[in-house]
Amino acid sequence: MNTQDHPLVSLAILKAKPDQAAALKEALLALIEPTRAEPGNRDYMLFERSDEPGTFYMREAFDHQQALDTHLATEHFQRFAEQADQLLAEPLQLIFLDPVSSVVAPHP
C-alpha cells in the first residue's frame, strides 16, 4: 500500500523507431481503456509531442505500488511489452513524480 497521501504518479516516455510511429500510437491507444478500468488506476492519458512526432508520453497515476505492479502484469500490458522491441527506438523511460502544488479540484 502507498504510504504517501497522494497517488503514485509517473510519466512514461516512448520514442518510436523510424516508420513505427503509427504502430506505436495504435499499440498505446489499445492500453487506455483496459488500464483505466483497472482497480487502483486514477489516470492514464496519452500525449504526443507536437514538435517531435512519434515521441509519446503516457501520464499515469495509480493508488499505490501494488496497483502499478498489477497493471504491469496484465494481459494487455504484457501484449504491449512483447511488441516493444520492434516499436521503440530506445527503452521506455518511466519517471516517477512527486506533487509540489496542490491538486486541482474538478469543475462542477
Domain 8-97 fold is Alpha-Beta Plaits (3.30.70)
Kindly list the domain boundaries of the chain, sorted by start residue.
8-97
With a cut of 70, say whether residue 2 has pLDDT above it: no
**What is the signed CA dihedral for 16, 21, 27, 31, rounded to 10 degrees?**
80
User: Using a CB cutoff of 8 Å and minimum separation of 24, what contacts does 101-107 make?
Assistant: 103/6
pTM: 0.88
**10-32 pLDDT per residue, tens:** 999 999 999 999 999 999 999 99
What whole-number distance in Å separates Cα of residue 76 and Cα of residue 79? 5
Residue 6: predicted pLDDT:
82
